[in-house]
């Protein structure tokens, strides 16, 4: 078996080492691409969940008047009790009902957005890593061809 050697930029290179390095890079790229696909799926799920959350928030706000129903009349409750119940509905119940979309759902939206921003950063980092590995792979392929051409 003949091993091809050549001097490349002051280094002695051989096909065996170049092929080994190419295999390592291909493994790293494969792993990074798998992670990248997973992050993209995760981002897509979060985007769908956020869209659903926003729709639910809108639907919830549209149902605000529901907390004031039913209206109590002289036939259902009388006098002071009816007034107290109406005041409770218009005060605490309505305030708590409105707090759900305005505070709780808004907080969840913010958490989704923060998580999506983090994932987008991870995606960009993985894409940069893959691009660097592709560049290194191309360099090694050129080096291997040079070694093979000189042997």
The larger pLDDT score, comparing residue 146 to residue 79, is at 146
71 inside domain: yes
**What's the structural domain count of the chain?**
1
Domain coverage including residue 45: 11-150
Q: Which of 38-52, 58-72, 73-87, 106-120 has the lowest mean pLDDT?
A: 73-87
47 inside domain: yes
For residue 10, pLDDT beyond 80: no
48 inside domain: yes
107 inside domain: yes
Q: Whole-model pTM?
A: 0.71
34 inside domain: yes
The larger pLDDT score, comparing residue 131 to residue 16, is at 131
Cα–Cα distances in Å, from 16 out to 27, 106, 109?
A: 17, 58, 53
For residue 103, pLDDT beyond 60: yes
5 inside domain: no
| Cβ-based burial of 143 (10 A; exposed 0-12, middle 13-18, buried ≥19) | buried
pLDDT of amino acid 97 = 72
Q: Are strands 5-8 and 11-14 parallel, antiparallel or unpaired?
A: antiparallel
For residue 4, pLDDT beyond 60: no
For residue 34, pLDDT beyond 60: yes
51 inside domain: yes
6 inside domain: no
Q: Give the integer Cα–Cα distance in Å for 105 and 59.
A: 12
């Amino acid at each position: 078996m003949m091993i091809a050697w050549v001097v490349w930029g002051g280094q002695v290179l051989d096909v065996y080492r170049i092929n080994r390095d190419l295999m390592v890079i291909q493994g790293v790229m494969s792993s990074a691409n798998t992670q990248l696909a997973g992050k993209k799926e995760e981002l897509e799920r979060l985007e769908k969940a956020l869209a659903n959350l926003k729709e639910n928030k809108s639907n919830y706000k549209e149902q605000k008047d529901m907390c004031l129903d039913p209206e109590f009349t002289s036939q259902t409750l009388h006098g002071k009790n009816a007034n107290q119940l109406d005041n409770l509905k218009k005060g605490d119940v309505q305030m708590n009902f409105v707090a759900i979309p305005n505070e709780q759902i808004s907080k969840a939206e913010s958490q989704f957005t923060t998580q999506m921003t983090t994932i987008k950063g991870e995606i960009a980092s993985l894409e940069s890593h893959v691009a660097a590995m592709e560049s290194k792979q191309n360099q090694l392929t050129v080096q291997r061809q040079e070694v093979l051409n000189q042997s």
